[in-house]
Amino acid sequence: MKEYEDKTTTPAFAEFTEAGRAPLVSADGQIGACAGAASAVEAASRAGTTKPSKPAKQLAPGRLYRRENIAAFLMILPSVLSFSVFILAPMVFAIILSVTQFEPLTATFQFVGFDNFAKLFNPKDWQYGQEFYRCMINTVFYLIEVPIVIALGLMAAALISGSKIRYNKIFRILLYLPTVCSVVAASIIWQQIFLDDPARINRGFLNYLFGTNIKWLSDQGWVLAAIIIKNSICGMGRSMILFYASISTIPPEYYEAAELDGANGWQKFWHITFAMVTPTLFYQLIMRVSGTLQSYADSAIFASGDPDARTAVYFIWNFGINQHNYNIASAAALILGVIIMIVTVIQFRRSSKWVVQL
Amino acid sequence: MKRKTLVPETVSEAPQDIAVPVKPQRDEFEIRKRNEKIKSIIFKILVYGILIFLSALVMFPFVVMVLDSFRTFAHYSASRLNIWPDPFTWENYRRVIAEVNILHGYLNTFIIIICELPCNLFFTSMAAFSFAKLRLKHKTFWLLFLLSGMMVPGAVLTMPRYFVYSKINWIDTFLPLIVPHLFSNAGRMFFFIQFMHGVPSEIFEAAKVDGCSYFKMHLMIMLPLLLPAVAAQAIFGFMGTWNDYFAPSIYLHKEEMYTLQVLLANFFTAYKAEGSFTVVFAGATLSCLPMIVLYLILQNYFIKSMAIGAVKG
């Protein structure tokens, strides 16, 4: 009963549980005094996604079933239609755009095969190829931030959720606070921190503080470093809060048992905390990699479109929307999309080895 | 200091003949205890040190931003390190509101959120109800069909969408920012389905016996139970649209149509050339303020919502 009330405190719910109509089951179906009922409902709920759900207790007549089927379909219809029109159709159209060339004179699309891709992959193509390579390399470089963000977030979350730490709420609030601010605002602020000025009049905070004159925003190596530093610090809050939420669901019994066995702090962290947050870590890894590969504001606002800081999405924006070359931009977007999908699939494949599944 | 006085006391309490063999043992115990205490103090200092360092690192730019927004430009350019505003001034805020029309940016962002978010929450929760609790033919197919939307990177969709919108004159309207988000959101639907698995199906079977229609079941039974999840998604949806920059910057080119973020980015570029950084900081502070206030009020809620989403999704 208690497990039940934790999940839902709505009065309607309580009535049902009191009336005894609903079986006594935890929402996750993990633990339960009545294990049989638990597994049955769990199976039923799982089946909802994978198999046709189990038949109702009274065998429903065919007409009733058909009515339910129609109602269920009507309910998903808006989503299906919207998905088809705004995601599936653009996907198909993107593929069409990438293998054609727009003729401005006749306003038609000429099929050109893989010419657009060839232009992008040709490093000697001064118009597209060079720029594309540079953007892709920059984008891949930004991935350095992903492990840093995740490590910092995990460290902060593990430290905050330690039971002996007082004021952990304050740290939690402070660490997450910048995350609710927009990328634009963050870029503006951080640009001021990293600002460089050859005339030394408008030096940024960092240069001012150390008396240096590093060209954080115009030198190729430094601008990448600046963006990685900025994103590592800005992204930490979100990573921390996800890990914190995940750690707070670990049953304290695990730690008690480990303490009885004489485990030290590091062992407890590594064998319990870390092992239990691997699903969250995996989720973050996928989201971060995919998000970082599609970053745009960093190069557009933070680096003010500096050629050395351009990302792949900046390339797409620059050629597609700025210069109205839809075909090249679509081809580049498709390459980026395929890379993201491949990375995601690889991560899924490899995840089975280290992600703990309950 | 205390320990030194403690040791003789305990020894003197013990009888003489036993004290001789016991004494080294007690000392050992005391030393170990003391070591552990020192260890835990060092550990604590280390932990607090790291946490304070990280918090300072994260908060520092924002503190600088807020303080700088109250400084006069003369003071700002004269001393960069002394960040405390010396002549405290509201002039920057006055200029932002008067010159940049930032209130219009707020309004535009609000219009988009209010048109899009409630409708999206309703339709995604309805689809999730259908997947989680109703019998649907080819359910697996439809679910995978919709969830595959989560796999598609947004960058791929930008070009074709922009091309079509420019052909049907949707550029410089709010429609490209509202209509595609009205009915479906794969991630949100998945979140709702996960949450609904915690609700027992027997309720709906009982409702069915009582002659409740399927739509009413969703509206009268599922939605009230789903309220925490809906609220969580509403917060994150609000935050996402509020902070979105890429899509509005592509589709909106007229100044009176700019959303808050586009307005901020554009006037940042304009004022940077002019050198009035303090005004830009005032604008950035104003753009962050609603989200920060919302977060501080609902911060417990943020964590709980994250817990629902992160652990199950």
| A122 located within any domain | no
Contact B203 A208 (CB under 8 A): no
Instruction: Kindly provide the b/e burial profile for residues A54-76, where b requires at least 16 CB atoms within 10 angstroms of the residue's own CB.
Output: eebeeeeeeeeeeebbebbbebb
A25 lies in the same domain as A168: no
With 0-12 / 13-18 / 19 or more C-beta atoms within 10 angstroms meaning exposed / middle / buried, residue A332 is buried
Q: Model confidence over A26-42: pLDDT tens digits?
A: 333 333 333 333 334 44
**H helix runs in chain A, sequence order:** 2-7, 11-19, 35-50, 62-83, 89-98, 115-121, 129-142, 145-160, 168-176, 183-194, 205-210, 220-247, 252-260, 265-268, 275-293, 297, 312-316, 326-354
Contact A87 B152 (CB under 8 A): yes
| A250 located within any domain | yes
Distance CA B55, CA B195 (A): 33
Range of the domain at A81: 62-117
- The pLDDT assigned to A149 comes to 94
A98 lies in the same domain as A203: no
Specify the higher pLDDT residue, A102 or B177: B177
A150 lies in the same domain as A236: yes
Measure in Å the smallest separation between the Cα of A352 and chain B Cα atoms: 16
Q: Which residue in the set B68, B287, B303 is minimally distant from A244, CB to CB?
A: B303
| A288 located within any domain | yes
Among the residue ranges A74-83, A217-226, B261-270, B285-294, the one predicted with the least confidence is: A217-226
Task: Name chain A contacts of B44, Cβ cutoff 8 Å.
Answer: 164-165
- The pLDDT assigned to A9 comes to 38
Among the residue ranges A41-55, A82-96, A230-244, the one predicted with the least confidence is: A41-55
* Phi and psi at residue A162, to the nearest 5°: -60, 130
Task: Assign A357 a pLDDT band (cuts: 50, 70, 90).
Answer: low
A210 lies in the same domain as A338: yes
Q: Model confidence over A293-304: pLDDT tens digits?
A: 988 888 888 888
- Who contacts A32 (Cβ-Cβ below 8 Å, separation ≥6)? A3, A24, A25, A26, A38
Measure in Å the smallest separation between the Cα of B11 and chain A Cα atoms: 30
Task: Name chain A contacts of B81, Cβ cutoff 8 Å.
Answer: 205, 208-209
| A294 located within any domain | yes
Task: Assign A307 a pLDDT band (cuts: 50, 70, 90).
Answer: confident
The domain ranges of chain B are: 2-68, 94-312
Provide the CATH number for the domain around residue A320: 1.10.3720.10
Specify the higher pLDDT residue, A64 or A156: A156
Distance CA A339, CA B29 (A): 61
| A157 located within any domain | yes
Closest-approach residue (CA) in chain B for A170: B55
Q: Model confidence over A244-294: pLDDT tens digits?
A: 888 888 888 998 899 898 888 888 888 888 988 888 888 888 889 988 998
A69 in contact with chain B, both atoms CB, cutoff 8 A? yes
- The pLDDT assigned to A45 comes to 46
Task: Name chain B contacts of A94, Cβ cutoff 8 Å.
Answer: 156-157, 159-160
CA dist B231 to A161, B158, B170, Å?
25, 29, 31
Task: Name chain A contacts of B261, Cβ cutoff 8 Å.
Answer: 182-184
- The pLDDT assigned to A301 comes to 85
Task: Name chain B contacts of A247, Cβ cutoff 8 Å.
Answer: none
Contact A244 B218 (CB under 8 A): no
Among the residue ranges A49-58, A90-99, B76-85, the one predicted with the least confidence is: A49-58
| A123 located within any domain | no
Chain A residues 149-168 with CB within 8 Å of chain B: 152, 155-156, 159-160, 162, 164-165
| A124 located within any domain | no
CA dist B210 to A21, A59, A301, B143, B223, Å?
14, 16, 59, 29, 18
- The pLDDT assigned to A84 comes to 92
Q: What is the DSSP letter of A103?
A: E
Residues B145, B189: contact at Cβ < 8 Å? Answer: no
Structure tokens at A356: 């703990």
Q: How many residues does chain A have?
A: 358
pLDDT at A46 over 50: no
Closest-approach residue (CA) in chain A for B206: A21
Which residue, chain included where needed, has tokens 């999840």?
B229
Contact B224 A10 (CB under 8 A): yes
Residues B117, B237: contact at Cβ < 8 Å? Answer: yes
Residue type, A96: I
A142 lies in the same domain as A286: yes
The interface predicted TM-score (ipTM) is 0.80
- The pLDDT assigned to B150 comes to 80
Nearest to B58 by CA among A143, A241, A10: A241
A330 in contact with chain B, both atoms CB, cutoff 8 A? yes
A92 lies in the same domain as A214: no
Task: Assign A17 a pLDDT band (cuts: 50, 70, 90).
Answer: very low
Report, as an integer, the average pLDDT of A179-191. 88
Tell me if residue B244 falls in helix, strand or coil.
coil
- The pLDDT assigned to B307 comes to 67
A301 lies in the same domain as A242: yes
- The pLDDT assigned to A80 comes to 93
Q: Which residue in the set A8, A181, A312 is minimally distant from B291, CB to CB?
A: A181
Q: Give how many domains chain A has, as a whole number.
A: 3
A155 lies in the same domain as A97: no
Among candidate residues A12, A28, A50, the one where a domain is terminated:
A50
- The pLDDT assigned to A150 comes to 94
Measure in Å the smallest separation between the Cα of A121 and chain B Cα atoms: 18
As its CATH architecture, domain B94-312 has Orthogonal Bundle (1.10)
- The pLDDT assigned to A218 comes to 75
Distance CA B174, CA B16 (A): 91
A195 lies in the same domain as A90: no
Give the mean pLDDT of chain A: 78
Residues A176, B302: contact at Cβ < 8 Å? Answer: yes
Nearest to A25 by CA among A3, A49, A54: A3
Tell me if residue B287 falls in helix, strand or coil.
helix
| A182 located within any domain | yes
Distance CA B148, CA A273 (A): 31
Per-residue pLDDT of chain B (313 residues; tens, 9 = 90+): 444 444 444 444 545 555 455 555 667 778 888 888 888 888 888 888 988 999 998 888 888 888 888 888 777 777 666 777 778 888 888 888 888 888 888 999 999 999 999 999 999 999 999 999 888 888 889 998 988 888 888 888 988 999 899 889 988 899 999 999 999 888 889 889 888 888 888 888 898 888 888 888 899 999 998 888 898 889 889 988 998 898 999 899 888 889 999 999 988 888 877 777 888 889 999 999 988 898 888 887 777 777 665 554 4
CA dist B313 to A126, A160, A201, B164, B186, Å?
44, 23, 50, 33, 12
Report, as an integer, the average pLDDT of A200-229. 76
Q: Model confidence over A138-183: pLDDT tens digits?
A: 899 899 999 999 999 999 998 888 766 677 788 888 888 888 888 8
The fraction of chain A above a pLDDT of 70, given in percent, is 78
- Who contacts B95 (Cβ-Cβ below 8 Å, separation ≥6)? B276, B279, B282
